[in-house]
Amino acid sequence: MSIQLRTLTPRISLRSISTKSKLHQIQPPSNSASAPSATPSPPNIQYGPLSAAQKAYLDRVIRVDQAGELGADYIYMGQHFVLSRTSPHLKPIIKHMWEQEVHHHSTFNNLQTQRRVRPSILTPLWKVGAVAMGVGTALISKEAAMACTVAVETVIGSHYNQQLRVLMNSYNVDLYHKETGEKLTQDEVLKLDKDERVSEELKKMKEIISQFRDDELEHLDTAIEHDAEKAVPYILLTEGIKLICRGAIWTAERV
């Protein structure tokens, strides 16, 4: 029976990775001087443009995450093809995780199109490699397939956390009064809620990455619950797959 290829996306979740990223809240000063004018509400705020470096980083995030989700999609496709026959009791579990990866992959495909981000030129290689990883680990054993999930989701979860830290700490832009065009003072900015200081585009991006990160961590926990650590040799298998995933991420960011 032939396997229909679809996009793969590597996902990673570690138990050591906190399910919720640690956001640094900016607290307004307790004794701030009175502002010269009333602080505008969010609908009356104009967000300044991103810098060239910020735009380049966002493009890199979308390109590598699209490649990663494509890889995860194909890995689960390969595992589902094998395990649905050799371990039918795992079929609904693999299918559920696969469907989430398909959604992740589709989301980044859309973002890639909307922002006109160049995809990784090694996309065909990611597809073949991901299917091979999914089929290969599932053929070894169901435990090896779950160990593969642990390794992939660990790397991806960590990678998503790193992206969230950058987006939360390095994406401040100037804010302006929409009606007057005047730049908000520091006091006015501090009176705004943290979410109000960030454009809808960036808020949406952070929400997507945060949700997908949590999904990946859920996959990791599911794999542990289904005997991933009983795979032989577990350490060699998971560390080898982690190394491959990190290499793929590094390459996809640049090629």
**Alpha-carbon span 224 to 234, nearest angstrom:** 12
Query: How high is the pLDDT of residue 43?
Result: 64
| Token digits of residue 203 | 């808020």
Q: pTM for the full model?
A: 0.77
Q: Tell me if 69 is assigned to a ligand binding site.
A: yes
Q: Tell me if 239 is assigned to a ligand binding site.
A: no
Domain span including residue 210: 42-254
In the chain, the number of structural domains is: 1
Q: Tell me if 201 is assigned to a ligand binding site.
A: no
In a domain, 195, yes or no: yes
Q: Tell me if 219 is assigned to a ligand binding site.
A: yes
Q: Tell me if 182 is assigned to a ligand binding site.
A: no
**Alpha-carbon span 82 to 219, nearest angstrom:** 18
Query: How high is the pLDDT of residue 40?
Result: 54
The C-alpha R_g of the chain, in whole angstroms, comes to 21
In a domain, 220, yes or no: yes
DSSP H helices in 87-122 = 91-114
Query: How high is the pLDDT of residue 185?
Result: 81
In a domain, 73, yes or no: yes
In a domain, 239, yes or no: yes
**Alpha-carbon span 74 to 98, nearest angstrom:** 8
| Token digits of residue 177 | 């009064």
Q: Tell me if 188 is assigned to a ligand binding site.
A: no
3-state helix, strand, coil in the chain (%, to 5): 65, 5, 30
In a domain, 173, yes or no: yes
For the chain, residues with pLDDT lower than 50 are: 1-39, 41
In a domain, 8, yes or no: no
In a domain, 5, yes or no: no
The DSSP line for 155-218 is HHHHHHHHHHHHHHHS----EEETTT-PBPPHHHHHHS-GGGGS-HHHHHHHHHHHHHHHHHHH
Residue 155 burial (10 A CB sphere; 0-12, 13-18, 19+): buried
